[in-house]
């Protein structure tokens, strides 16, 4: 019993870790999608492209077009990866609500970090408070669903095991009965057959003797 519960808990832990990782990764790529979309159109990209053009002694317009095209391509790639990971997280998770909350929380956090690093944006305390509340809500929802699942599994564990034991016992008795009858038909002595089936074999011999006398 303990072994089954331990295996079930390990399997549940692996499943939870898998969908949480996929949901966080999809949120991170959603943030990258927004970052590259902004870099495709922002003036900061043009300024960076001009610096690169001057360093490489290339035309400004050509370098800027190439840089913006690369950002646009990365935008599409991030969007594709984000949806692929999000779909797999929905498939692995027991609840779409938990995946959506985890994805959104990761998206907000990574977006804030990238904004501070790339664009020198400042995030106020109210924003961090809201992000923290979203993360806490994700944890609460996950714990509630896991507790419900654990209670349901414990409630169903006893009857299922009893049914399996009864089915195995009945199957074993049927196999022993068929084996005893087969041994008798092949000419083995009744004493060699197991005790539960001696009465049945003796009754069969009595019927055969009565038919012979007739």
The CA–CA distances, whole Å, from 111 to 32, 132, 162 equal 8, 14, 53
Is residue 104 exposed (0-12), middle (13-18) or buried (19+ Cβ within 10 Å)?
middle
CA distance 152 to 146: 10
Q: Which two tokens stand for residue 27?
A: 């949120």
Summarised one tens digit per residue, pLDDT across range 6-36 is 444 554 555 567 888 999 999 999 999 999 9
Helix-helix angle 125-185:198-213, to 10 degrees: 30
pLDDT of 4 above 80: no
**Percentages (nearest 5) of helix, strand, coil residues in the chain:** 90, 0, 10
Name residue, tokens 């994700």: 138
Within 13 Å of residue 97, how many CA atoms lie on the same side as its CB? 9
Is residue 115 exposed (0-12), middle (13-18) or buried (19+ Cβ within 10 Å)?
middle
CA distance 18 to 23: 9
pLDDT at 35: 93
* Closest to 93 measured CA to CA, from 179, 167, 16: 16
pLDDT band at 123 (very low <50, low <70, confident <90, very high): confident
**Mean pLDDT value across residues 115-128:** 84
Choose between 165 and 133: higher pLDDT.
133
CA distance 130 to 128: 5
CA angle, 79 then 81 then 84, to 5°: 110
Summarised one tens digit per residue, pLDDT across range 160-173 is 445 445 666 667 77
CA distance 84 to 29: 10
pLDDT of 174 above 70: yes
């Amino acid at each position: 019993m303990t072994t089954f519960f331990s295996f079930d808990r390990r399997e549940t832990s692996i499943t939870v870790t898998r969908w949480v990782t996929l949901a966080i990764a999809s949120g991170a790529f959603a943030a990258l999608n927004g970052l590259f979309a902004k870099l495709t159109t922002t003036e900061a990209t043009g300024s960076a492209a001009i610096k690169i053009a001057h360093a490489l002694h290339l035309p400004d317009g050509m370098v800027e077009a190439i840089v913006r095209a690369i950002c646009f391509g990365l935008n599409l790639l991030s969007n594709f990866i984000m949806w692929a990971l999000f779909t797999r997280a929905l498939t692995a998770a027991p609840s779409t609500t938990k995946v959506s909350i985890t994805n959104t929380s990761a998206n907000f956090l990574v977006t804030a970090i990238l904004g501070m690093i790339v664009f020198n944006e400042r995030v106020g305390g109210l924003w961090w408070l809201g992000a923290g509340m979203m993360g806490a809500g994700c944890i609460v929802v996950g714990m509630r669903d896991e507790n419900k699942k654990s209670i349901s599994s414990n409630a169903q564990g006893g009857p299922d095991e009893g049914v399996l034991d009864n089915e195995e016992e009945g199957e074993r008795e049927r196999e022993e009965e068929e084996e005893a009858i087969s041994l008798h038909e092949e000419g083995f002595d009744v004493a060699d057959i197991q005790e539960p089936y001696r009465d049945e074999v003796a009754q069969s011999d009595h019927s055969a003797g009565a038919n012979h006398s007739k």
